[in-house]
Amino acid sequence: MVTVRAPATSANLGSGFDVFGAALDRPADVIRVEKADRTTIDVRGYGSEFIPEDPADNTVGAVAEALDAPAHIRIDKGIRPSSGLGSSGASAAAAALALNELYDRGLSRKELVPIAGKGEATVSGEVHLDNVAPALLGGFTVATGRDVTTVDADIPLVACLPEIAISTRDARDVVPAGATMEQLVYTVGRAATLTTGMCRNDPRLVGKGMHDRLVTPARADLISGYDEVREAALAAGATGVTVSGAGPGVLAACYPGDRREIAAAMVEGFAEVGVDSRAYQTKIGGGATLHRD
Ligand SMILES: Nc1ncnc2c1ncn2[C@@H]1O[C@H](COP(=O)(O)OP(=O)(O)OP(=O)(O)O)[C@@H](O)[C@H]1O
Ligand SMILES: N[C@@H](CCO)C(=O)O
């Protein structure tokens, strides 16, 4: 039996739509796999009632098929689905690492990224690697096509999840079809600022680089209380705030000593508009970990 813990991730980070991603040190999914004649899936934990166990509809099913690795797969969800913390991608990444080990396929973590991406595509409709890459490799990741670069950054974060569900598929429908040259220049500047901040472990630059005028405003409109939460987090010391992944989670970058106050301010911001939420005080963390029994 092989057990893998794969972390939650935050994709986009504002200025890096479909390219940037970061592994979070908590929460995480845990997957256990055992060889079998055909793949079966048993889902438990956070939000498990909303997750299909049919391999055709669960992200881990496509991964088992791609690796030709049928198994009994038990998923313990620690990451709420449809929250913007890469829940479906974490399961896909964990399954790729676990089944690669179980069947001695010998693929590297980088080679497993596109395989996990096939699993993620079953629910989001298109292949994008900005959740599965950090879940497998850890740190801050830049995924361009099949090429993934990683930076082992150490940046404190707060992720606040409101009790609203937005599927990635629906949130992709509101992404603008095009951009003006002015918007492109602004986005490149912010993305470069964020990347420099990650390389220097500088929360101020990371926060500044999260600001995005292209995709985030359209997605923020889907999240009741987004403006209130953003203002509250900035007033409490956040260096930048954006939508986490496809939402509805909201992500704040900050200095280490400010996390508790920012988390409370974000929960209060959602409460102002009558929405319950849960905040995680976290930071950029490592990739999936594997244990063989
Ligand atoms: N193993 C899985 N874990 C979580 N969700 C899954 C899984 N397999 C299938 N799903 C389905 O995927 C959808 C959730 O994925 P979605 O991409 O919308 O959200 P997310 O992974 O939480 O967020 P994001 O990608 O924006 O960070 C739900 O409809 C859920 O039923
Ligand atoms: N880049 C993806 C991440 C969510 O899976 C999106 O924003 O749609």
Q: Which ligand is nearest to the CA of 20?
A: 2
Residues forming CATH 3.30.230.10 domain(s) in the chain = 2-151+285-292
Active site residues: 120, 168
Whole-angstrom distance, CA of residue 139 vs CA of residue 152? 5
Residue 146: what pLDDT? Answer: 76
- Six token digits for residue 227: 């403006």
Interface confidence, given as ipTM, is 0.96
| Residue 258 pLDDT > 80 | yes
Residue 123: what pLDDT? Answer: 84
The fold of the 2-151+285-292 domain, in CATH, is: Ribosomal Protein S5; domain 2 (3.30.230)
Mean pLDDT, residues 207-226 taken together: 96
Q: Which ligand is nearest to the CA of 58?
A: 1
- For residue 11, the ligand 2 atom closest to its alpha carbon is 3
- For residue 80, the ligand 1 atom closest to its alpha carbon is 22
Whole-angstrom distance, CA of residue 86 vs CA of residue 25? 13
- 230-267: burial string, b at 16+ Cβ within 10 Å, e else: bebbbebbbbbbbbbbbbbbbbbbbeeebbebbbebbb
* Ligand 1 residue neighbourhood (C-beta within 6 Å): 11, 50-52, 58-60, 75, 81-89, 91, 123-124, 131, 167-168, 245-246
Please, which residues have CB within 8 angstroms of residue 221's CB and are 6 or more apart in sequence? Answer: 174
Residues forming CATH 3.30.70.890 domain(s) in the chain = 156-283
The structure's pTM equals 0.96
Residue 124: what pLDDT? Answer: 76
Q: What CATH superfamily is the domain 156-283?
A: GHMP kinase, C-terminal domain (3.30.70.890)
